Chain A
Amino acid sequence: MAEHAAVIGIGQTDFDAKRLDVSQVGLIREAAERALADAELDWKDIDAVVVGKAPDMFEGVMMPELFLAEALGGVGKPMLRVHTAGSVGGSTAIVAASLVQSGVHERVLTVAYEKQSESNAMWALSIKMPFTPTMVAGAGGFFAPLIRGYMERSGAPEDTGIRVALKDRLNALKNPVAHLKLPDVSFEMIQNSPMLWDPVRYLETCPSSDGACALVIGNEKHARAASNPPAWIHATNMKTEPTMFAGRDQVMPRAGLECSAELYKKAGISDPRKEIDCAEIYVPFSWFEPMWMENLHFAPLNQGWQMTYEGATALDGDLPVNMSGGVLSTNAIGASGMVRFAEAAMQVRGQAGEHQVDGAKKALGHAYGGGSQYFSMWIVADQPLQ
């Protein structure tokens, strides 16, 4: 890299099913202003803006970053709009980081959002196209068979998913901005919730949320001058593979395996389970925690479920996962990847409040999208990469 880059400001909206008190403009302003306040910067200090969100049809606005230009302080500045399916929030942060790492800009604001209440994502995902099967079952209908495939391969106990959901929902109670909070959540409550897409129960799936996440990314000079601690970006990576062909393993995608292996190499990590203190990863359906533990090389193949079962991924485990409550508790789709990246940064800045992992120095942020085919990841730490 030409330049070191670090997260020097983080802002998230309060997430909810319907943020009827704000427009899309108000939503992104809430996140961006919180990030600027955290960075102790003003709009004029920002060189460029990078916006991310999932399909435009989710709100019914084509390239909405154009009408958000004024609200994001983008007038007279370069503005980019990223869209890489569900991984978009992560990819957007990576593009923003690259504007700093390249030496082209010094301080970049990046914002990712979704306002699902202004439309219906299930409808937007279910348009009948000629010569293609419709996906009227939403994303869960696509991913449930992959989970079935994992269960068969690994022999994981059937209640693994319930245990993941219980952990994430308990973590969400410690996160002031999380959307779905169930104070009396229990194993039985999740187990008895309706089966939506066998084996995924209602309480093992993510909600539909309104919300936004913003980051300010600065170069080394600005990171060292900041009064709040920076989260140094050690490595980023993105990887894509096609949706379907006969040789593809959709349960354990090669793009994810290679993306994380390359990421660790760039960050100088040889044993990720030991060297990474916590991980915030994209788990929209409970079972994806054990699947991604294997895909991210934290556990051997077919043994990821043991980490959940043994409590290794709990807030007090040896590799806490989804300390924020995860996508299972908050899912403003376009923002979800960036929220993962932001949580990793908050942890190494010691900023995570009740869901802080003691002494977290190095953390992973992860997002995926499409048919388990788009991956974006970063490693952040409390010190710059040597």
Chain B
Amino acid sequence: MRDVAIVSYAQTPYVRSERHRNEVEMLMPIIDEVVTKSGITRQDIGFTCSGSTDYLAGQCFSFVMAVDAVGAWPPIKESHVEMDGAWALYEAWIKIQCGEVDSALIFSFGRSSMGETAETLTLQTDPYTMAPLGPDAISMAALQARSGLDAGLYSERDLAEVAARNRRNALTNPEAQLAGEFDVDALLEAPYRVSPLRDHDCPPVTDGAAAMVIATADVARNASSKPVWIRGIDHRLDCHQLGSRDLTRSPSTELAGQKAGVGTGKIDIAELHAPFTHQEIILKNALGLDDDVRINPSGGALAANPMMSAGLARIGEASRQIAGGAAERAVAHATSGPCLQQNLVCVLEG
């Protein structure tokens, strides 16, 4: 395998609603920033790959307009996944492993504010047997949270502590959407949103975008003072039918974590894409993380959950911790689908 490093990362400020900018206008400044910081000219970037979904834009082929944010002239080698940008990173990493290109631009974007995200995600379920029943994303997550409570894996207080810690961490992240000091006892007095989940257990609705440049060793060393190396990257899938799964575990995260080599060294920090509090605990167990691992110094998806970018943002935020000297080795995780159906794990080193 060729050594590949993250050489630059940028994200928009995460907000409840981007009222005055469309997707291209959100993307242009951050794409410009990552390309400039990479030290690689636009013409020399070998490959471009993006991640997004038409169901946020409410429009077919919504990714086509995003090409305008890249400056695709002369024409570029480009691809798109209808997935979180973390999987666009995976496709770009594969392209570099083929030896075809030495660098790549990855970006992702979405404006959840334009629809009802939790209900839109109902359309992700089996259209014949599940979607007609109308389960929204929060209700499905609540089923999962309940199964863990019933199994005695965590208490509602544990979940409130996860929420309080993530939003406290977000105080140092200027791009986070929800940050602050919250008292766990006060949080637990709030009514249920969908039992056993309260508002603090759920992610905010977020508009935003993220962009990254990766490169092979030769290019990265010339381009960046502190390249962050991708030492392992793998992604796996669980079955779709919730009734066929043990919702208290994430077998696909366990497997992806093993394949990516999480356990082969000490982990300093973890950025876990856990939109719901109980999912952070499931993921921590699946990856076998010790209690001294700092989880989500950025505030994670509970502080900002830009659909289609929240996974790529975990990898980007983890790379910032390493580039800034706060960590030597980190694990970053991205998820997709109902109740953590699909999971990607990436191990980064300075």
Residues of A within 8 A of B (CB): 1-2, 23-25, 54-64, 66-70, 74-85, 91, 95, 98-99, 101-104, 124-125, 127, 129, 237-243, 245, 247-248, 253-255, 258-259, 370-371, 373-374
Partner of B61, one of A66, A103, A370: A370
How far, in angstroms, from A64 to B78 measured CA to CA in the complex? 23
In the complex, what residues of A have CB within 8 A of residue B60's CB? Answer: 54-55, 57-58, 124-125, 127
Q: Which residue of B lies closest to A262 (CB)?
A: B77
A74-B237, A85-B61, A127-B59 given as contacts; is B53 within 8 A of A240 (CB)?
no
**Which 10 interchain pairs have the tightest Cβ spacing?**
A255-B75, A102-B97, A55-B60, A240-B78, A241-B75, A62-B123, A83-B82, A67-B126, A62-B55, A66-B337
> Is A78 touching B234 in the complex (CB atoms < 8 A)?
yes
Q: A25-B128, A82-B80, A98-B94 are in contact. List 13 more A-B contacts (CB 8 A).
A: A2-B97, A61-B123, A66-B336, A70-B240, A75-B239, A82-B81, A83-B80, A84-B79, A91-B79, A103-B97, A104-B94, A238-B79, A241-B72
> Is A66 touching B240 in the complex (CB atoms < 8 A)?
yes
Among the listed stretches B7-15, B83-91, B150-158, B263-271, which one makes contact with chain A, having 4 or more residues with CB under 8 Å of it?
B83-91
> Is A66 touching B97 in the complex (CB atoms < 8 A)?
no
How far, in angstroms, from A58 to B244 measured CA to CA in the complex? 28
> Is B240 touching A67 in the complex (CB atoms < 8 A)?
yes
A98-B94, A104-B94 given as contacts; is B64 within 8 A of A77 (CB)?
no
How far, in angstroms, from A102 to B235 measured CA to CA in the complex? 16
How far, in angstroms, from A287 to B90 measured CA to CA in the complex? 38
In the complex, what residues of A have CB within 8 A of residue B244's CB? Answer: 70
* Chain B interface extent, by class: 35 or more
Q: Mark B225-243, 1 if CB is under 8 A from A, else 0.
A: 0000000001111111100
How far, in angstroms, from A177 to B87 measured CA to CA in the complex? 34
How far, in angstroms, from A22 to B266 measured CA to CA in the complex? 50
Whether B76 is near chain A, meaning CB under 8 Å from some CB there, is: yes
> Is A127 touching B79 in the complex (CB atoms < 8 A)?
no
Whether B74 is near chain A, meaning CB under 8 Å from some CB there, is: yes
> Is B237 touching A82 in the complex (CB atoms < 8 A)?
no
Residues of B within 8 A of A (CB): 1, 48, 53-55, 58-61, 63-65, 67-68, 72-83, 87, 90-91, 94-95, 97-100, 120-121, 123-128, 130-131, 234-241, 244, 251-252, 255, 336-338, 341-342
> Is A76 touching B98 in the complex (CB atoms < 8 A)?
no
> Is B97 touching A243 in the complex (CB atoms < 8 A)?
no
Partner of B81, one of A80, A248, A253: A80
> Is B58 touching A127 in the complex (CB atoms < 8 A)?
yes
How far, in angstroms, from A62 to B115 measured CA to CA in the complex? 14
A1-B98, A74-B237, A259-B75 given as contacts; is B64 within 8 A of A243 (CB)?
yes
How far, in angstroms, from A85 to B337 measured CA to CA in the complex? 22
Q: How far is the CB of B96 from chain A (nearest CB, A)?
A: 8
In the complex, what residues of A have CB within 8 A of residue B100's CB? Answer: 1, 98
> Is B68 touching A242 in the complex (CB atoms < 8 A)?
yes
A55-B60, A56-B53, A57-B60 given as contacts; is B237 within 8 A of A69 (CB)?
yes
Q: How far is the CB of B166 from chain A (nearest CB, A)?
A: 26
> Is A243 touching B236 in the complex (CB atoms < 8 A)?
no
Q: Can you offer 30 A-B residue contacts whose CB atoms are under 8 A? A: A2-B99, A62-B55, A62-B120, A62-B123, A62-B124, A63-B82, A66-B336, A66-B337, A67-B130, A68-B240, A69-B240, A70-B241, A76-B236, A77-B236, A78-B236, A79-B235, A80-B81, A80-B83, A81-B82, A82-B79, A85-B64, A99-B94, A102-B97, A124-B60, A239-B76, A239-B78, A241-B73, A242-B73, A243-B68, A248-B73
How far, in angstroms, from A57 to B155 measured CA to CA in the complex? 40
Partner of B237, one of A76, A83, A371: A76
Label chain A's interface by main secondary structure.
loop
In the complex, what residues of A have CB within 8 A of residue B121's CB? Answer: 62
In the complex, what residues of B have CB within 8 A of residue A61's CB? Answer: 123-124, 127, 131
How far, in angstroms, from A125 to B76 measured CA to CA in the complex? 25
> Is B127 touching A240 in the complex (CB atoms < 8 A)?
no
Partner of B73, one of A58, A76, A85, A245: A245
In the complex, what residues of B have CB within 8 A of residue A2's CB? Answer: 97-99
How far, in angstroms, from A57 to B62 measured CA to CA in the complex? 11
In the complex, what residues of A have CB within 8 A of residue B337's CB? Answer: 63, 66
Q: How far is the CB of B146 from chain A (nearest CB, A)?
A: 22
Residue in B74, B98, B131, B235 with the greatest tally of chain A CB atoms within 10 Å = B98
> Is B67 touching A243 in the complex (CB atoms < 8 A)?
yes
Q: Which residue of B lies closest to A64 (CB)?
A: B127
> Is B75 touching A254 in the complex (CB atoms < 8 A)?
yes
How far, in angstroms, from A70 to B244 measured CA to CA in the complex? 11
How far, in angstroms, from A152 to B61 measured CA to CA in the complex? 30
Q: How far is the CB of A220 from chain B (nearest CB, A)?
A: 15
How far, in angstroms, from A127 to B62 measured CA to CA in the complex? 12
Q: How far is the CB of B133 from chain A (nearest CB, A)?
A: 13
In the complex, what residues of B have CB within 8 A of residue A82's CB? Answer: 79-82, 91
Q: How far is the CB of B41 from chain A (nearest CB, A)?
A: 18
How far, in angstroms, from A340 to B322 measured CA to CA in the complex? 45
> Is A238 touching B241 in the complex (CB atoms < 8 A)?
no
> Is B65 touching A243 in the complex (CB atoms < 8 A)?
yes
In the complex, what residues of A have CB within 8 A of residue B124's CB? Answer: 61-63, 66-67
> Is B251 touching A76 in the complex (CB atoms < 8 A)?
yes
How far, in angstroms, from A124 to B55 measured CA to CA in the complex? 12
> Is A242 touching B72 in the complex (CB atoms < 8 A)?
yes
A70-B240, A70-B241, A129-B59 given as contacts; is B87 within 8 A of A80 (CB)?
yes
> Is B239 touching A81 in the complex (CB atoms < 8 A)?
no
Q: How far is the CB of B297 from chain A (nearest CB, A)?
A: 28
Q: How far is the CB of B124 from chain A (nearest CB, A)?
A: 5
Q: How far is the CB of B104 from chain A (nearest CB, A)?
A: 12
How far, in angstroms, from A104 to B91 measured CA to CA in the complex? 12
